[in-house]
């Protein structure tokens, strides 16, 4: 942590809009904005503290509505400079909130069912939201290399954002990843370094690099830039409410990997309430995991406050974090809001991917299969109320996890004539 | 053609907004709106004739700007009912117009270079634009099955749109397509029929089916619904101009498959001029082909008016139409506007995909490699003016043509320690 403290000697002229300081989620200790992520007092996670004073609700709403069709419409609520929309970035967000009437009918939801479909982001996952934030922080702190450890979606998002911004990128991945994933990460032309080891080895190496002079000038989006990066998930909450007509949904179903996304969605909803942009009313947040990586779901069901790590074994690889850093906060939020945490099997994930595609024409990544599958399960068990407005997140793209549904194929094979067509019962 | 004429007994109550009739592109013969595509007088292609009378320019502009963030903002200019945005459809469009400053620097463009990136559409290609139109026509004509022949992008777009709309879909493909493409087409749960034969056999079979009672109630998006389908490409022109601040670009680089997209972009630009939504000024349209399927480019260079069919052999499979129906019209437009038609080799396509990804963080399909590669070639040969505002189309997504860049990979492999990192020269 020594190097972190050195790095926290922040330039007080840094302009990240309404971001006022970093504040420890555990002990509340505040430090100036800088590339640090852990509290020097208690090692708790640092997060952004804002100064939203002086905001007029109606003016803010008008400013947002007149803003660009991407996350920068919410610049006044994010740790970014006011002119962020004019800088080269990948400009994710303002993805579709799909009114899923067909899916609602199949699941028996009568109160309105929506899918927030983040497959429409530039590199087709929600990671573009968080990386776009981290890029602005990297620029503010004068970093010249954008980096991360990754096994998939994050690598592409970092590569694309760095390319657009004209920064160097250097992404670390396990050396034996599938060729398709390597291509998706390599195409943006940055350094793509294979580490001889597994994902844990990659992570350990990155932590070592941050503490070494060789890592000077490097912004690791999900390590030393994590407090900024994480705020990107708030934009999901903002967009959902604005797209519902500045209204809180009653129920949200959110996937859990590290748990950060779920906690920041809750933070975003609370901000909208405090700013008067939505009417205050109860909402419930439900967390969704794959059974093969369900440490938070397990803790929730057992009534525990502590999350016991699990070795992941599931097709939902983008959610396969066995020791989720924000797990305890997720438990807090699920319990406080009256939600729950549930998990589904790999078979249920595949069924849910197909269900969503068949009913709404949305081809989700395995993570979307997890949330849709959990939604179905929670309705069947009576935990989720089908008469209330419900929003389900799809955070990624089915094109990136084709293997999961590889069994899907032709419904018939015929010869090129009408007799063969009729014989197949297709007429 | 007998069945077509029968099918053209149009219900005069059909509501497709400003679409007034079908008009033959060759002889001008008009027929009522219906599921027909060829002129009964001369067999020329039918296209939509509009009634835009009574439109006030400023009111129209305001109505568009206040519309949804998808193609339905242009509903007053499309063959769709006025309430189209409220019906279940995949709602494509309003994709990013990326200001490609890094690419401009590499290519020496000083007049402003933009990439219209249609990989952001729901199924990640421009086909969503045309299928969304065809779906509205299918509904208007009471069709219950949405169909097409396809080898890729179109199959996914039709499957997704039919799923959302609650229509049956039945898509015909060659039976031996790659597994990945089959999965992408099959996931939406419609009928996916493999035809024992090549793509030509598939097409021939579809024409036979349209003429048979078994095909009753079937809307083939690119056959009997083609006049409606094709209009979707106009929205590319509308969006580009609106995103430029209601201004015509000086130069556009558009891929050529059937040539329909290029001709409809020209039609869209002409409409904007006539409606007073943009100031009239000259613009040049450049067509882009792969050398391995360059019949229009070949005809352009030879000064011919007729396009001689070619057997396609290129990695740009989404453009591999050897006998492009709208080829002669493309030649007309390129010559009339002072543009050109050019082609690039498969190697140049791959280089261009990498160039665009490295400079702008946009991972294009091979078709995008064709347009970027042709842009580069036309600048180098002095045909395209680098001092003028230029828009290059990317009509698809790199995730769908990973094979084309399969050679892209790790830039280094290291052991998980700093010594190995330094040895690799990465510090």
Residues of B in contact with A398 (CB under 8 A): 184, 187
CA distance B19 to chain A (A): 27
pLDDT at A12: 56
**Cβ contacts (< 8 Å) between B186 and chain A: which residues?**
408-411
pLDDT of residue A325: 93
Using pLDDT thresholds of 50, 70 and 90, give the confidence band for residue B368. Answer: very high
For residue B241, give how far its alpha carbon lies from the nearest alpha carbon of chain A (Å).
Answer: 16
- Going from the C-alpha of B154 to that of each of B182, B233, B246, the distances in angstroms are 12, 14, 30
CB–CB contact A409 B182 (8 Å): yes
CB atoms within 10 A of CB B247: 15
The position carrying tokens 């992008």 is B153
Q: What is the pLDDT of residue B180?
A: 81
Confidence of residue B11 (pLDDT cuts 50, 70, 90): very low
How high is the ipTM of this complex?
A: 0.94
**Domain A2-51+127-229 -> CATH class:** alpha beta
pLDDT of res. A9? 40
A156 sits in which H/E element: helix A153-165
Q: Is B354 on the interface with A (CB under 8 A)?
A: yes
Q: What is the pLDDT of residue A3?
A: 34
Q: In this predicted structure, what is the pLDDT of residue B17? A: 96
The pLDDT score that the predictor gives to residue B12 is 56
- What's the mean pLDDT when you consider all of chain B? 94
A68 touches chain B (CB under 8 A): no
Q: Chain B contacts of A195, Cβ < 8 Å?
A: 413-416
Say whether A426 and B201 touch across the interface (CB within 8 A). no
Domains B2-51+127-229 and B96-124+233-405 share a fold: yes
Q: B97 in contact with A at a CB cutoff of 8 Å?
A: no
Using an 8 Å CB-CB cutoff, list chain B residues near A205: 416-417, 421
Sketch the domain layout of chain B as residue ranges: 2-51+127-229, 96-124+233-405
A85 in contact with chain B, both atoms CB, cutoff 8 A: no
Q: A85 contacts in B (CB within 8 Å)?
A: none
Residue A229's contacts (CB-CB under 8 Å, 6 or more residues apart) are A130, A131, A133, A134, A137, A221, A222
Q: Is B178 left (phi over 0), alpha (psi -120 to 50) or beta?
A: beta
What does the pLDDT profile of chain A (427 residues) look like in tens digits? 333 333 334 445 799 999 999 999 999 999 999 999 999 999 999 999 999 999 999 999 999 999 999 999 999 999 999 999 999 999 999 999 999 999 999 999 999 999 999 999 999 999 999 999 999 999 999 999 999 999 888 999 999 999 999 999 999 999 988 888 899 899 999 999 999 988 888 989 999 999 999 999 999 999 999 999 999 999 999 999 999 999 999 999 999 999 999 999 999 999 999 999 999 999 999 999 999 999 999 999 999 999 999 999 999 999 999 999 999 999 999 999 999 999 999 999 999 999 999 999 999 999 999 999 999 999 999 999 999 999 999 999 999 999 999 889 899 999 999 999 999 988 7
| Minimum distance, in Å, between the CA of residue A285 and any CA atom of chain B | 27
B25: left (phi over 0), alpha (psi -120 to 50) or beta: alpha
What pLDDT sits at residue A199? Answer: 82
Is B422 in contact with A209 (Cβ distance < 8 A)? no
Residue A69 at interface with chain B, using a CB cutoff of 8 Å: yes
* A64 interfaces chain B, CB cutoff of 8 Å: no
Output the CA–CA distances (angstroms, integers) from residue A171 to A175, A381, B8, B22, B421, in the order listed.
12, 42, 58, 55, 13
The CA distance from B39 to B22, in Å, is 9
Minimal-distance CA residue of chain B relative to A360 = B164
Q: Do B192 and A409 touch (CB under 8 A)?
A: yes
- Whether A412 contacts chain B with CB within 8 A: yes
Provide the 10 A C-beta neighbour count for residue A213.
10
Asked if A193 lies within 8 A of B406 by C-beta distance, the reply is no
**Rounded distance, CA B189 to CA B192, Å?**
8
Question: Which candidate in A187, A218, A220, A239 is best for mutational testing of the B interface (most B CBs within 10 A)?
Answer: A187
Residue B7 predicted with pLDDT over 80: no
Distance of residue A338 Cα from the nearest chain B Cα, in angstroms? 32
Q: Which of A261, A244, A54 is nearest to A153 (CA)?
A: A261
Which pLDDT does position B407 carry in this prediction?
A: 86
* B96-124+233-405 placed in CATH 3.40.50.1460: no
Using the beta-carbon criterion (under 8 Å), do B209 and A421 form an inter-chain contact?
A: yes
Query: Does the beta-carbon distance from A209 to B102 stay under 8 Å?
Result: no
Nearest to B166 among A90, A102, A413 (CB): A102
Question: What integer pLDDT is reported at residue A11 of this predicted model?
Answer: 46
Residue A20 has φ and ψ, to the nearest 5°, of -100, -30
Helices (H), A345-417: 346-360, 366-380
CB A130 within 8 A of CB A395: no
Contacts of residue A403 in chain B, CB cutoff 8 Å? none
C-alpha B74/C-alpha B186 separation (Å) is: 31
B17-66 confidence digits (pLDDT tens): 999 999 999 999 999 999 999 999 999 999 999 999 999 999 999 999 99
Find the residue in B nearest to A216 (Cα): B427
A159 interaction partners in chain B (CB closer than 8 Å): 361
Closest CB from A179, A417, A424 relative to B406 = A179
Q: Taking a C-beta distance cutoff of 8 angstroms, is the pair A283, A250 a contact?
A: yes
Instruction: Tell how far CA A355 is from the center of its chain.
Output: 22
CB contact under 8 A, B408 and A159: no
With 60 as the cut, is the pLDDT of residue B70 above it?
yes
Strand partners, B147: B170, B220
Contact A364, A354 (CB under 8 A): no
Inter-chain touch B418–A214, beta carbons under 8 Å? yes
- Please report residues of A whose CB lies closer than 8 A to that of B124: 124, 397, 399
Residues 6+ apart with CB under 8 A from A332: none
Question: CB count, 10 Å around CB of B77?
Answer: 24
A220 touches chain B (CB under 8 A): no
The nearest CA of chain B is from the CA of A420 a distance in Å of: 10
DSSP assignment letter at A321: -
pLDDT (0 to 100) of residue B181: 83
* Residue B43 near residue B169 (C-beta atoms within 8 A): no
Structure-block tokens of residue B262 = 């290029």
**In chain B, which residue's Cα lies nearest the Cα of A218?**
B427
Q: A97-124+233-405 has which fold? A: Rossmann fold (3.40.50)
- Give the largest CA-CA distance in chain A: 78
The whole-angstrom distance between B394's CA and the closest CA on chain A is 13
Q: What is the rounded distance in angstroms from the CA atom of residue B239 to the CA atom of residue B266?
A: 13
Q: Which of A96, A193, A412 sits opposite B91 (nearest CB)?
A: A96
Biggest distance spanned by C-alpha atoms of chain B: 78
Cα angle value A289/A291/A297 (rounded, 5°): 55
- Write the CB contacts of A385 (distance below 8 Å, at least 6 apart in sequence): A111, A250, A251
Query: For residue A167, what are its two tokens?
Result: 């920064």
Q: Which residues of A touch B424 (CB under 8 A)?
A: 193
pLDDT, position B301: 98
Tokens of A311: 């070795």
Least Cα distance to A397 among A175, A192, A179, A124 occurs for: A124
């Amino acid at each position: 942590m020594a190097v972190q403290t050195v790095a926290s000697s922040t330039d007080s002229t840094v302009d990240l809009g309404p971001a006022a300081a970093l504040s420890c989620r555990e002990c509340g200790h505040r430090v100036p904005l800088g590339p640090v992520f852990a509290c020097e007092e208690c090692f708790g996670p640092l997060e952004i503290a804002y100064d939203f004073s002086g905001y007029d609700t109606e003016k803010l709403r008008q400013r947002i509505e007149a803003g660009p069709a991407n996350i920068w419409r919410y610049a006044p609520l994010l740790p970014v400079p006011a002119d962020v929309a004019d800088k080269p970035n990948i400009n994710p967000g303002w993805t579709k909130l799909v009114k899923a009437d067909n899916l609602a009918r199949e699941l028996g939801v009568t109160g309105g069912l929506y899918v927030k479909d983040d497959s429409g982001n530039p590199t087709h996952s929600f990671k573009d939201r968080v990386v776009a934030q981290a890029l602005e922080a990297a620029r503010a702190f004068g970093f010249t290399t954008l980096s991360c450890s990754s096994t998939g979606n994050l690598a592409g998002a970092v590569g694309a954002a760095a390319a657009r911004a004209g920064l160097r990128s250097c992404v670390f991945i396990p050396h034996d990843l599938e060729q398709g994933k390597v291509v998706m990460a390599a195409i943006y032309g940055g350094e793509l370094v294979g580490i001889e080891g597994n994902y844990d080895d990659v992570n350990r190496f990155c932590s070592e690099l941050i503490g070494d002079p060789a890592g000077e000038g490097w912004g690791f989006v999900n390590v030393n830039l994590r407090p900024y990066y994480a705020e990107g998930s708030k934009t999901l909450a903002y967009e959902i409410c604005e797209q519902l007509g500045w209204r809180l949904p009653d129920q949200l179903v959110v996937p859990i990997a590290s748990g950060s996304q779920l906690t920041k969605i809750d933070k975003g909803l609370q901000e909208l309430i405090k700013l008067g942009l939505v009417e205050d009313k109860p909402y419930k947040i439900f967390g969704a995991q794959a059974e093969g990586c369900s440490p938070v779901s397990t803790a929730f069901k057992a009534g525990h406050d502590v999350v016991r790590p699990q070795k992941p074994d599931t097709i939902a690889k983008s959610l396969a974090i066995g020791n989720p850093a924000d797990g305890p906060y997720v438990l807090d939020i699920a319990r406080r809001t009256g939600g729950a945490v549930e998990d589904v099997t790999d078979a249920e994930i595949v069924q849910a991917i197909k269900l969503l595609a068949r009913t709404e024409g949305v081809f989700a990544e395995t993570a979307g299969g997890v949330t849709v599958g959990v939604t179905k399960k929670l309705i069947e068990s009576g935990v989720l109320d089908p008469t209330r407005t419900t929003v389900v997140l799809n955070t990624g793209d089915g094109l990136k996890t084709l293997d999961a549904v590889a069994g899907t194929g032709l419904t018939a094979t015929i010869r090129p004539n009408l007799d063969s067509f009729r014989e197949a019962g297709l007429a």
